[in-house]
Amino acid sequence: MLNKMRQSLCTYMILGLFLSIFQTASVRAGELAITGLDIAALTGDRLQIQLEMDGAAIEPKVFHTDNPARIALDFSGVKNGLDKKMFPINRGAASTIYVAEAADRVRVVVNLIESTPFETKVVGNKVLLTLTRASIKAPAKLKPFAEKPGVPVAVKSANSLARALIPEQTISGFDFKRGDKGEGRILVSLANPDTIVNSKQEGGPPA
């Protein structure tokens, strides 16, 4: 009888200890809170938002929208231990951060200037949200205006134009004859009947 009482007492003690440990773990899990928020500028035009917790950080559920551009991180079973809810950033792609607690979760909303690539990572007691701002594309260089090649114009010299207008002057024959009165006649035969002839007398008759 005594042994049975001892066994029952040990069983109740073990059960009580187990329940105590379970309740303590539950309380600690429920007491996890966000206690710090920090912003760090990284190389490559990146901005990192660091959420610090008072215990081992948990992986959040992440949502994002493009219009309006924002990223939301939901932490189940976590409280807001920060001293305020709104944090102005105005750095990189982030404008403001809003932290709201409802029921048994905390939602961290990052309002963006524009939609941007991001990634989340849990390191120890911190959740890191890294934003990579989309690079601004330089305007395309304008191509130099290509002038259309002009139609070549043949430039003729004055001599060429004169030759085109004046027919070729070629002597095809030459003869000498005496007239009825004994005068001398020089007969010049031209190849082209349209040849312009400029004839004039120079000097006087022989004495």
pLDDT tens-digit profile of 83-110? 999 999 999 899 999 999 988 899 999 9
Please check the confidence at residue 56 and state whether its pLDDT lies above 70.
yes
Query: Is this model's pTM higher than 0.95 or not?
Result: no
Decide if 94 contacts 111 (C-beta within 8 A). Answer: yes
Handedness of CA 154, 157, 158, 163 (dihedral sign): negative
Please check the confidence at residue 169 and state whether its pLDDT lies above 50.
yes
Spatial separation of the C-alpha atoms in residues 96 and 119, rounded to whole Å:
18
What pLDDT shows up at residue 61? 96
Please check the confidence at residue 1 and state whether its pLDDT lies above 60.
no
- CATH code of domain 32-132: 2.60.40.3470
Spatial separation of the C-alpha atoms in residues 21 and 122, rounded to whole Å:
27
- Structural domain boundaries in the chain: 32-132, 166-195
What pLDDT shows up at residue 45? 87
Nearest to 85 by CA among 130, 48, 34: 34
Residues 21-45 pLDDT 10s: 444 444 344 589 999 999 999 998 8
Please check the confidence at residue 18 and state whether its pLDDT lies above 60.
no
- Cα-based distances in Å from 40 to 37, 115, 128, 173: 10, 19, 10, 108
Judged by phi (left if over 0) then psi (alpha if -120 to 50, else beta), residue 10 lies in: alpha
Please check the confidence at residue 176 and state whether its pLDDT lies above 70.
no
Nearest to 108 by CA among 49, 41, 48, 174: 49
